[in-house]
Structure 1
Amino acid sequence: MRAALAGTTGNAMLMGIAEVSTPLGWVLLPGLLGVSARPRVAALVSAWAGVLVALSVVVPVIPGHRSDPQALLASAAGLAAVPVLAWARRRTRTAAVARAAAPPDVAVFTVPAGPGSAALAICGTAGEIGAAVPVRGGGLRVLLGTVTGAALDTPAGRRAIEQAFHRAAAGPHRTVPHLVDVLEKAVRDLAPAGHLRATIVDVDRAGSVRAVRCGSPDLVVAAEGRAAPAGVPEGPAIGSTGPGGRAAPGRVTGRRIAVVGTGFTDAHGQRRLRVLDQVAVGDDPARTAELLTRGPGGGRRTGPALVVDPSPRA
């Protein structure tokens, strides 16, 4: 928000010094900053740009706009459209994420994943982190894991991690290592002694899947009716080491791909792969994700869980 307001102010000063009086010069940069931000931030940027436009008329030091009613009306209309466009952009992205029917103790969200689909199940277990971000063009980026540390394992701490991922993952050209860097900084800023065991999954518009493991269990793929490890290299947990010790992203192929957190392996122990055989059964990723959160012996659910079908159903 501060960067957007500073950019709007700098643009107004530059336009005033250059005595630019056309509405486009005053509205273009605030419009771009506002549309790319959240609707609330867009509204604030638009309002502040309107104040600066008014000052350019009232204060002789900043000549800026002529007191031409048509120029002022064009600027006002352009700035009023900024928060509306930001809201429409956010609504379009949110509409891609739908909540699927599930028992009351688990929330399952479905989302397009390239030409296929994915489902993310969240059940509010201790330290649970889960965020799915649709990417313009049909891609998908997902963060799934658990946090450790008193400062991180709070509603505010988990929300801050998820929001940092949302902001970083929304860009169309972000790479998986860049997302790890962003999360590394967020974890260290929030809790230098805490860490995040996570898997980041990136599905491009063609359905190609890449993933990086940071202290989390291996992904599994459906193979001949059973679950098999995907063989993605493992790196240290985020926040526990420097950039040099990180694992490189690995490519994952399979009809169906599943990701679970450390809580799943702790709960199921040696039976982990047997439970994960459910990944190869059924056609509905949402149902499979919900099944993977079930605790052993009907106990408390353990999440999160992600199921990805990179290709459309036959």
Structure 2
Amino acid sequence: MGLSIGIDVGGTKIAAGVVGPDGKIGARTHRDTPADSVDQTAKAIIDAAAELIADHEIEAVGIGAAGFVSADRSTVLFAPNLAWRDEPLGARVGDALKVPVVVENDANAAAWGEFAFGAARDVQDMVCITVGTGIGGGVVLGGEMLRGAHGVGAELGHMRVVPGGHRCGCGARGCWEQYASGRALVREGRAQADSGSLAAAQMLSVCGITDSAELTGPMITTAATQGDPCAVELLDDLGRWLGEGLASIVTLFDPSLIVLGGGVSAAKDLVTKSALVAFERNLPAKANRPHPPFGIAELGNDAGIIGAADLARLEAPEPRQ
């Protein structure tokens, strides 16, 4: 097996790298994401890949993109932060580069990276949860990526946990990511500050700001690591929501390992302790079933590049003539 390229398409940046069969990234490049233009986004992806192909013998290209990807791993059916709607991205990029191209959901790509080369490399059944602005998820069962009949399965962040709860960007109410994500953390922190809470005012001071509108998730995490009581409580509450949702996830998929990534990696015990307590409290038939351990993601921001490249190497169609 030779080299492949992994491309992680974010809302602001397109990151690409040459990945070997050992999961190691060699050459890298990046482009800004022209998120409001389908054509310009595709051009930026092609340019980044072409730059790497010029200096390397490449077998395939894998693209990780947020949103719904068709079952044939070629068409982006819908992307929440980009202008893609039924976009034949795989064919467009493949025609331009003359190499096989596989398109994958970005959370699936990151999960596969951790499965193949990261925290879950020694298991066959795993769930990977990435806690960022929202919640991304990927499921591997029996060594195979779970995608569903139409390619849009494992949207774990949109599992409903509170009927009639907070409105989500997907249009539904009460999705898990509205309670256990960076967005939820900031929303609750700002609400406490705006309520006149003296503890929250102290947290803002620790963060070096006076306006709650300037508060961010990393600020809260930093304040918590410094022992600020309000920030610690906010992360503890996020962990509780995370653990409760994971109890349902384990009931569905019975993994041997749960891998936690994203902001959870930075917060560490400030989130995972309360998540584990809530998980064990809410796991059905908890006295009569195995409890999968929690692991922390190892590949960081490279997981999507590595996973997309490896999936492309494994699943690429025949090259276009």
TM over 0.5: no
- Greater RCO between the two (CA within 8 Å, min separation 6)? 2
TM-score if structure 2 supplies the norm length? 0.26
**Higher Cα radius of gyration:** 1
TM-score if structure 1 supplies the norm length? 0.27
